[in-house]
Chain A
Amino acid sequence: MFSSLLLVLLIGAIAWVGASAGLASLFGVALPYVAAVVFIVGMVWRMAYWAKSPVPFCIPTTGGQEQSLDFIKQNKIDCPSTTWGVVQRMFLEVFFFRSLFRNSLADVRESDPVSNGPRSIYYSSKWLWVFALLFHYCFLLVFIRHFRFFMEPVPSCITFLESIDGIMQIGAPRFFWTGGLALVALLFLLARRIFNQRLRYLSLLNDYFPLWLLIAIVGTGICLRYFDKTEIAQVKIFVMGLTHFAPVSGADINALFFVHLTLVSVLLLYFPFSKLAHMPGVFFSPTRNQANNSRRVRHINPWNPPKQYFTYPEYEDTYRDAMAEAGLPLEKQPEKAAE
């Protein structure tokens, strides 16, 4: 937990020192380019790596009533039998974290009227779902909002998004709630890992590192906007230079900006090789992206081995006499088989 925090701080410090010492082009130009290439190639490679292995069996986890008799109501989303149903299920899964929404908590109810004392109950617990959803959506909106640095003119939808985002009209520049909420959600997810003993036991460096990294990214971003304010116009010229493959000098820009940029680059570098790959991964999940129709439509296994089993003729050969005596129908009567 601490080593990953130190690692993130170290990355930030290196970027700070580097940018201050005039290596802005290294941290502001070379690193982002490398990171972008690694991210794209890495993600494609990762998805190709998954896709190379076949899905031999149709193994959806059914979360409701199957399609069966016409008077029995099917749960078409949690137990889809058609592609359309699967699309709906995946949509809910990806956009609303359906499975996490189902989360329950095993707990003890202190005084239960039936058992006259404590009782184990499994009640619905939505905290993880709320904060996970909050983080992902806020981060997505923050990401989209950043397109105003990449595009000229700024598309109206992004301007609109910004006006919504700053709707509370607090402070100057106006406070964007997405950034703040993303930070809150990240801190919840981190606190959960640290204070929930179960989670702390199973958490690894690879769990804390992305959290600290994201906190640092959001944190530096917020600093750049509200506290250690950067010259937005300069940043935009610099970023536009990057996106048009004609980098300009960023020597005048605040060093903190390069810290922010470096941390984002590190995130991109880290992404394809870590658990963060769950983003594309969820689309591949065979327990979610398949229809529960394996009795109606045959699923093909490309490596299906040849059939090898104890066949009926072998079986009858083994037990023929006894079967004949019991009067069971036979393919070959004992006297014939003996010939």
Chain B
Amino acid sequence: MAKLPTPQMLVASRPAFPDKSWLDTKPEFTPGSFCYPAKKETMELLHMPNPHDWDPAAEDWNLPENWEKILCDAFADRLEKHRSLKLFMDICVRCGACADKCHFFLGTNDPKNMPVLRAELLRSLYRRDYTMLGKILGKKAGARGWDMSVVKELFYYAYQCTECRRCSLFCPYGIDTAEITAIVRELLHEVGLGIHWIMDPVKNCSFTGNHLGIQPHSFVEIVEMLADDCETITGIRPKTPFNEKGHEILFITPSGDVFADPGIYTFMGYLMLFHELDLDYTFSTYASEGGNFGSFTSFNMAKKLNAKMYAEAERLGVKWILGGECGHMWRVINQYMDTYNGPSPANMEVPVSPITGTVFSNAASTKMVHIAEFTADLIRHNKLRLDPSRNDHIITTFHDSCNPARAMGLLDEPRYVLRHVCNNFVEMPENTIREQTFCCGAGSGLNTEEIMELRMRSGMPRGNALRYVQQKDGVNHMACVCAIDRATLPPLADYWAPGVTVSGLHELVGNALIMKGEGKRTMDMRQEDLPNVAEDEPEESPADAPEAQGEGQ
């Protein structure tokens, strides 16, 4: 007689703490725990080393014959190139302060998602070849050699890290797991291991200028549709200048905002803002991608994609570049761009706001200004007429995106703007915002749907904080300054804090912006009815900063 399993058998109680050390436990590649591999053709097209077909769930990953040598050599090469790597391999004292800072660890409880152990995966290999103790004592001192299971382990955990740098903030030596993850991913690319969700956009950005591979003429048409939508809402059709020479400013934003809901509404916010200011600017179809998927691949790929920005600025003869809301795009611009592809072309000048005359001396060399800085400055100088009551139907909180927060320090500019376009703004709990912000759980190229469950787990700390303010303050909206956040936070909110919508900062700006000669606003940027529209003409109050007027120059 067949026996039915008991509930206990079904849920399969497991033994207590592992007897085996972390060096011996290996990850299981179950569906949903890994991203799909990059296509061979994509890798070939991009001239990536050792392109091949493989499947993470398979036993054999079809690595090239001499993979061990390739990896050892590549590792040695990276050690020579990055002091950070040498240092981070040497000085970790394993104090464990980073452990519960990682959203992946908090969400998955996998000990190897503690930043210290994630780095230790690579460090164990370093010990064998580069430290005396490791050479002598081997495994006793936590050293081990390369083998296939180690490569798989590196892949597994390098793609369970969003390079958010939260651990780095708390590390007494500033050990940055993002640096280690980035280098591990570089090593894996040396033997042809990459993921589809990153490499496909890399290919598209490289050859067409946007992450979906839309050709230039179509791209323009799509942007024009957004301008049409602006007209529907405001009665004014903003201009959409493309590839035009002789303008003062080149505007670059992630192409996701041209294609993806709800990013498109942020993009419409830009169009309306620029039109209202009569800004002398142009878009480019060639450099239409601000986001840099190359930065999730290798330093060199990031450089390659980023190079188009200065090249286009030079060709079009602009004075400076204005950058849209995006997380990793700004990590690249703030910390890498000038180093990669600088110095900026001769025709460029230190950015000066043509409206307020403010000199952005903090961008004197890169010559690229963040839209939040730009708009905050406009509001400060009373150059915008805003009606924040149009956003009265939302109680918003602000999600600091990891890269602007911890690799740039852009914290108060977006808040300044938000406070002026929204009457109801509530912060999430301390220790989950500003430089201590929790990642959306799917940054650095992990926002792919095949790992949705994993994303819900890793985004849980963020989701919890959001739910808390939802319960406490009735928050129903979350603003952010990152295109990836705009893609990843909606499912996260739907799951952990249903009822909270997500938008970019400039969608709210667009909503509140009173344009010259606009029709009466009855709908918001999403063409949904504005609930707070008064029957008669709303009184026109310049709701901008009343406090101490800034000087114009």
Give chain A's interface residues, CB within 8 Å of chain B. 3, 46, 49-59, 61-75, 78-79, 81, 93, 97, 99-100, 102-106, 114-115, 119-124, 128, 132, 196-199, 201-207, 273-275, 277-278, 281-282, 284-288, 292-301, 303-305, 307-312, 315, 318-319, 322-323, 325-326, 328-329, 331
A312-B311, A322-B216 given; A65·B91 CB < 8 A: no
Q: Which of B176-210 contact A (CB under 8 A)?
A: 176, 179, 206-209
Question: Which of B117, B221, B339 is within 8 Å of A326, CB to CB?
Answer: B221
Would you call B308 and A114 a contact (CB within 8 A)? no
Would you call A287 and B83 a contact (CB within 8 A)? no
Would you call B285 and A282 a contact (CB within 8 A)? no
Would you call B217 and A286 a contact (CB within 8 A)? no
Cα A277 to Cα B91 with chains together (Å) = 6
Would you call B116 and A281 a contact (CB within 8 A)? no
Would you call B215 and A322 a contact (CB within 8 A)? yes
Q: Does B435 contact A (CB under 8 A)?
A: yes
Would you call A282 and B91 a contact (CB within 8 A)? yes
A202-B22, A305-B300, A328-B217 given; A295·B362 CB < 8 A: yes
Cα A135 to Cα B365 with chains together (Å) = 44
8 further A-B pairs in the complex, CB-CB below 8 A; given A69-B377, A206-B133, A328-B216: A114-B472, A274-B133, A281-B87, A282-B174, A296-B365, A307-B304, A309-B304, A322-B217
A115-B468, A273-B133, A275-B92 given; A326·B220 CB < 8 A: yes
Question: Which of B83, B435, B461 is within 8 Å of A62, CB to CB?
Answer: B435
Question: Which of A274, A281, A305, A323 is within 8 Å of B285, CB to CB?
Answer: A323
Cα A110 to Cα B67 with chains together (Å) = 51
A61-B165, A299-B338 given; A207·B216 CB < 8 A: no
Would you call B84 and A122 a contact (CB within 8 A)? no
Q: Does B12 contact A (CB under 8 A)?
A: no
Q: Does B363 contact A (CB under 8 A)?
A: yes
Helix, strand, loop or mixed for chain A's interface? loop
Measured between C-beta atoms, what is the minimum distance from A100 to chain B in Å?
4
Contacts of B365 in A (CB 8 A): 295-298
Would you call B94 and A202 a contact (CB within 8 A)? yes
Cα A93 to Cα B173 with chains together (Å) = 8
Question: Which of A49, A66, A71, A122 is within 8 Å of B431, CB to CB?
Answer: A122
Would you call B116 and A61 a contact (CB within 8 A)? no
Question: Which stretch of B147-155, B403-411, B536-544 is in the interface?
Answer: B403-411
**Interface mask (B95-132 → A, CB under 8 Å = 1, otherwise 0):** 11101110000100001001011001000000000011
Chain A, residue nearest B78 (CB): A53
Sample 12 A-B pairs with CB under 8 A, ordered by A number.
Answer: A62-B406, A62-B409, A63-B406, A72-B412, A122-B431, A201-B17, A285-B87, A286-B174, A295-B368, A296-B363, A296-B365, A308-B307
A-B residue pair count with CB separations less than 8 angstroms = 313
Contacts of B176 in A (CB 8 A): 59, 61, 287
Would you call B311 and A64 a contact (CB within 8 A)? no
Contacts of A288 in B (CB 8 A): 173-174
A275-B91, A303-B81 given; A69·B376 CB < 8 A: yes
The 6 lowest CB-CB distance pairs between A and B, nearest first, are A66-B409, A326-B217, A281-B91, A287-B174, A62-B409, A106-B100
Cα A305 to Cα B339 with chains together (Å) = 11
A275-B92, A301-B339 given; A312·B141 CB < 8 A: no
Q: Does B242 contact A (CB under 8 A)?
A: yes
A68-B362, A328-B285 given; A278·B80 CB < 8 A: no
Would you call B550 and A71 a contact (CB within 8 A)? yes
Cα A328 to Cα B223 with chains together (Å) = 13
A70-B550, A294-B366, A296-B361 given; A63·B435 CB < 8 A: yes
Q: Which of B122-168 contact A (CB under 8 A)?
A: 131-133, 137, 140-142, 165, 168
Measured between C-beta atoms, what is the minimum distance from A78 to chain B in Å?
7
Question: Which stretch of B35-43, B256-264, B329-337 is in the interface?
Answer: B329-337
Would you call B412 and A65 a contact (CB within 8 A)? yes
